[in-house]
Amino acid sequence: MFNEMMMNDEVREPYRALVDWMEASGPETLQQKRLEAETLFRKIGITFAVYGEGGDPERLIPFDLIPRIFTATEWRKLERGVKQRARALNTFLYDVYHNAEIIKAGIIPADLVFRNAAFEPAVIGIDPPRKVYSHIVGVDVVRVGPDDFYVLEDNCRTPSGVSYMLENREIMMRMFPELFSKLRIEPVESYPDMLHKTLKSIAPKRCDREPNIVVLTPGAMNSAYYEHSFLADQMGVELVEGQDLFVSEGRVYMRTTRGPARVDVIYRRIDDAFIDPLCFRPDSVLGVPGLMNVYRSGGVAICSAPGAGVADDKAIYTYVPDMIRFYLGQEPILNNVPTWKCANPDDLKYVLENLGELVVKEVHGSGGYGMLVGPASTKEEQATYAERIKADPGDFIAQPTLALSACPTFVESGIAPRHVDFRPFCLVGDDIRLTPGGLTRVAMREGSLVVNSSQGGGVKDTWIMAE
Amino acid sequence: MLSRTADNLFWLSRYVERAENMARLMEMGYRMALMPAAGDGNRSEWASVLSASGCAQGYDPDMPLRQAEVADYLIFNRDNSSSILNCFENARANARAMRTAITAEMWEALNNALMELRRTAMHNLAKTDLPEFIDWVKRQGALFRGATDSTILRNDGYDFIRLGIFIERADNTARLLDVKYYVLLPETSMVGDGVDNYQWTTVLRAASSLRAFHWVYRDDYSPYHIAHFLILNPFSPRSLAHCSEQITNHLEHLARHYGQRSPVHSLAVETYSLLTQTRMDEIFSQGLHEFLSDFLKRNQTLSSAIAETYYFGGQ
């Protein structure tokens, strides 16, 4: 297992200054800092819980104060790799809603795309501004060695967690001002500004003035409401709910105290199915009746575009390296995790024979739910799971259990290595932009590989060292 | 600004102001009840407080009209939409629905107040030491207003907050004065005696206006002056005249800001003129209760007109 901080009993270079500082400070100072951070975070944490509503303390995400550090070189590679994927995924999305060249070329099976639940026939043929469907791509990356990065999955719809990236940094800068003044750590504060620029750049062609941008939230009861309000706040745009918007004469308006105000760009944080009750789920009250018609006629831009989810399906994921080769004529910079598709009889046979060593996931699952972690499972669990796979093989993929890298983390017993993953946020508009940073998630339990916050994972600040 | 946001800001400040005024009403009841019984031991203070609060209808007729029961109803009862607990819950729900329109300081003031109020210790405090609890509520109102005044932008959002405060406060001052009417009702012969005067000064006290009054009228605590101070004196921060002036100002500000006038502006000016042009003896001869009832109606109409003008219910 790769340790982010230590290699062959030596402190790895990007961590040297941090380790020196920790040693010079001594365990007492660290312990004190830890308590301080806890107090600080409890304060902010309370706010998180309040926004999450229900006041359920379980929903608080544990924060760890030992940062995860990347060198400039490591970051450059990650950055290039993520941008490459974001570009390929967007080309793919445009393609499948237009000529479907990649399917005609026999690279991706038609069924996998057209019979996919996330494929949205309502947007076939639509040309969104700049041909971009997914404007914010969250790519989940894991590391297994000094130079081995693997992409676990791509999130093309509405990846969340960026508010944690910003809040974590805020806390860290308050806790360790001396480290920040000594080390050259790339700032992440520009994210809201970059997001704003991206949203501005996708305004519909028919928009003849400074575009009016809004963030569309399902409302205060949503668990990510904090992030929605945080981003709207940071960008200085309105945070709206479906009831605040309405459609009239081919345009979208919001209800203001001065009467209707036209809206040009909607950063929606609600699912496709709820966007427009006239087009999708008729029982939904979250969306805006008629919105899809306006979108289709180019009267409003929607970020991310409806139907973008077809690109981040776990079965489609296996073809991303092929997409990169097909559309961009390049070799993938970041690798996929080798994946067995149970839809494929040979793969299925292999998976069923090796359940004990594999991680099996549902194709449409998310949040770490409904998966089987082979090495951590019992014979009975494996047998039950095997039945599920056999019942509908197309619904499952399997991957080897990766030895995720570990990062030193404050736990009950002191400082100990815990497994981490990493989600940088890539913005796609007139340009492809990446904030030097991202969200590092950490599995707080010893040996656990599950970093999802819904499964008790925590978060860390991520430092990218400046050149 | 989103209509929903304006709506939320308006009601957010109304609810905080209302919570505080519920406390003031109780303070008045508490102080009046400390006096020897008037007439044949007819103690109607808590019934009066209930009537003046506007939530007498929901009060269980089988419950005794004693401090413990009435106070509990006015503070903690979930079914009473104007109970202090519900006021804070509603204020916070409004704040949460438009978290980006208020500052962190305002949010914290509100959130802390509600968290503390939900603790059982508060329940006990209200039982054992009502005055202390009332002070706590008033302090929360002051904290929230202070946080608002010192942190929020002076844009249209501020106008809606201030409109909410003064619509609610005018409503409450009128109700406070009306308590006096309800208490006095059966014993008109008592006018001018010691109990009567004590009750009038209690009204002043509950409006946190005793000292302010003293500065203006010295020690002439006549009903005429007290009513004048709380109705017509534009320098008294809780007077109907002052509230009306503030409402007119903030509506004017919105009109300038939006470049648009509407019937709501004339409506506000009309009430304001009434309060600047009427004399106290005219009010007394018309009947204080009648005057106040008329004012409460006007205030309610104005509140609805604001909601209509700025599309609180959508458009």
For residue A204, count other CB atoms closer than 10 A to its CB. 20
Per-residue pLDDT, averaged over B55-80, amounts to: 92
Q: What pLDDT is recorded for position A51?
A: 40
Per-residue pLDDT, averaged over B110-139, amounts to: 92
Min mean pLDDT across A130-139, A189-198, A263-272, B183-192 is at B183-192
Place of tokens 């289709």: A296
Q: Nearest by CB to A238, which of B2, B96, B311?
A: B2
HSE, CB side, 13 Å, CA atoms: give it for residue B228.
15
Q: B-chain residues within 8 Å CB-CB of A233?
A: 99-100
Q: Nearest by CB to B3, which of A229, A232, A257?
A: A257
Judged on CB neighbours under 10 Å (0-12, 13-18, 19+), A359 is buried
A243–chain B nearest CA distance, Å: 8
For residue A69, count other CB atoms closer than 10 A to its CB. 26
Chain B interface with A: residues with Cβ < 8 Å = 1-6, 96-100, 111, 156, 160, 254, 258, 260, 310-311, 314-315
A260–chain B nearest CA distance, Å: 8
The band of A453, judged by pLDDT with boundaries at 50, 70 and 90, is: low
Backbone angles phi, psi at A199, to 5 degrees: -65, -40
* Predicted confidence (pLDDT) per residue in A270-280, tens digit: 988 888 888 87
Min mean pLDDT across A40-44, A381-385, A431-435, B147-151 is at A40-44
The band of B195, judged by pLDDT with boundaries at 50, 70 and 90, is: confident
The better pLDDT of the pair B219, B285 is held by: B285
For residue A314, count other CB atoms closer than 10 A to its CB. 21
B294–chain A nearest CA distance, Å: 29
Judged on CB neighbours under 10 Å (0-12, 13-18, 19+), A279 is buried
Which of A51, A257, A267 has the highest number of chain B CBs within 10 A, making it the mutation to test binding with B?
A257
The band of A249, judged by pLDDT with boundaries at 50, 70 and 90, is: very high
Give the whole-angstrom CA distance, residue A192 versus residue A371: 34
The band of A21, judged by pLDDT with boundaries at 50, 70 and 90, is: confident
Q: Which run of H or of E encompasses A65? A: strand A63-70
Report chain B's terminal Cα–Cα distance, integer Å. 14
Q: What pLDDT is recorded for position B43?
A: 65
HSE, CB side, 13 Å, CA atoms: give it for residue B49.
32
Q: Nearest by CB to A256, which of B2, B96, B260?
A: B2
Residue of A nearest to B256 (CA): A258
Q: Nearest by CB to B2, which of A51, A219, A255?
A: A255
Residue A190 has pLDDT above 80, yes or no: yes
Residue B4 has pLDDT above 60, yes or no: yes
* Predicted confidence (pLDDT) per residue in A255-274, tens digit: 999 999 999 999 999 988 88
* Predicted confidence (pLDDT) per residue in B289-300, tens digit: 899 999 999 999
Residue A367 has pLDDT above 60, yes or no: no
Q: What is the residue-wise DSSP string for A126-160?
A: ---GGG-S-SEEEEEEEEEETTEEEEEEEE-S---
Residue of A nearest to B156 (CA): A257
Give the whole-angstrom CA distance, residue B233 versus residue A106: 85
The band of A30, judged by pLDDT with boundaries at 50, 70 and 90, is: confident
Q: What pLDDT is recorded for position B315?
A: 60
Q: What pLDDT is recorded for position A224?
A: 82
Q: Do residue B315 and residue A255 have CB atoms under 8 angstroms apart?
A: yes
Residue of A nearest to B306 (CA): A257
Residue of A nearest to B313 (CA): A255
Average pLDDT over chain A reads 89
Go through A236-265 and write b for each residue having 16 or more CB atoms within 10 A of its CB, e for each that does not: ebbbbbbebbbbeeebbbbbbbbebbebbb
Q: Do residue A257 and residue B260 have CB atoms under 8 angstroms apart?
A: no
Q: What pLDDT is recorded for position A191?
A: 96
Q: What pLDDT is recorded for position B6?
A: 96
Give the whole-angstrom CA distance, residue A194 versus residue A428: 10
The band of A368, judged by pLDDT with boundaries at 50, 70 and 90, is: low
Q: Which of B212, B30, B42 is nearest to B130 (CA)?
A: B30
Q: What pLDDT is recorded for position B99?
A: 80
Residue A242 has pLDDT above 60, yes or no: yes
Residue B122 has pLDDT above 70, yes or no: yes
Residue of B nearest to A228 (CA): B100
Give the whole-angstrom CA distance, residue A149 versus residue A396: 23
Length of chain B in terms of residues written: 315
Q: What pLDDT is recorded for position A365?
A: 61
Tokens of B119: 């603790």
B116–chain A nearest CA distance, Å: 14
* Predicted confidence (pLDDT) per residue in B20-65, tens digit: 999 998 998 888 788 765 544 456 788 888 887 888 889 999 999 8
Q: How many residue pairs bridge chain A and chain B with CB atoms within 8 Å of each other?
A: 54
Give the whole-angstrom CA distance, residue B282 versus residue B294: 14
The band of A59, judged by pLDDT with boundaries at 50, 70 and 90, is: low
Residue of B nearest to A260 (CA): B315
Q: What pLDDT is recorded for position A53?
A: 42
* Predicted confidence (pLDDT) per residue in B228-281, tens digit: 999 999 999 999 999 999 999 999 999 999 999 999 999 999 999 999 999 999
Per-residue pLDDT, averaged over A311-338, amounts to: 94
The better pLDDT of the pair A219, A91 is held by: A91
Per-residue pLDDT, averaged over A416-442, amounts to: 94
Q: B-chain residues within 8 Å CB-CB of A218?
A: none
Q: Do residue B3 and residue A244 have CB atoms under 8 angstroms apart?
A: yes
Q: What pLDDT is recorded for position A43?
A: 64
Tokens of A322: 């092929």
Q: What pLDDT is recorded for position A28?
A: 85
Q: Which of B34, B258, B238, B282 is nearest to B141 (CA)?
A: B238
Q: Do residue A255 and residue B6 have CB atoms under 8 angstroms apart?
A: no
* Predicted confidence (pLDDT) per residue in A159-169, tens digit: 988 998 998 89
Average pLDDT over chain B reads 89
Q: What pLDDT is recorded for position A44?
A: 61
B204–chain A nearest CA distance, Å: 37
Q: What pLDDT is recorded for position A54?
A: 46
Tokens of A193: 């500004």
Q: Do residue A219 and residue B3 have CB atoms under 8 angstroms apart?
A: no
Task: Respond yes or no on whether ipTM tops 0.95.
Answer: no
Q: What pLDDT is recorded for position B54?
A: 83
Chain A interface with B: residues with Cβ < 8 Å = 50-51, 53, 219-220, 229, 232-233, 238-241, 243-244, 254-260
Q: Do residue B6 and residue A219 have CB atoms under 8 angstroms apart?
A: no
Per-residue pLDDT, averaged over A107-117, amounts to: 91
The band of A348, judged by pLDDT with boundaries at 50, 70 and 90, is: very high
Backbone angles phi, psi at A300, to 5 degrees: -155, 150
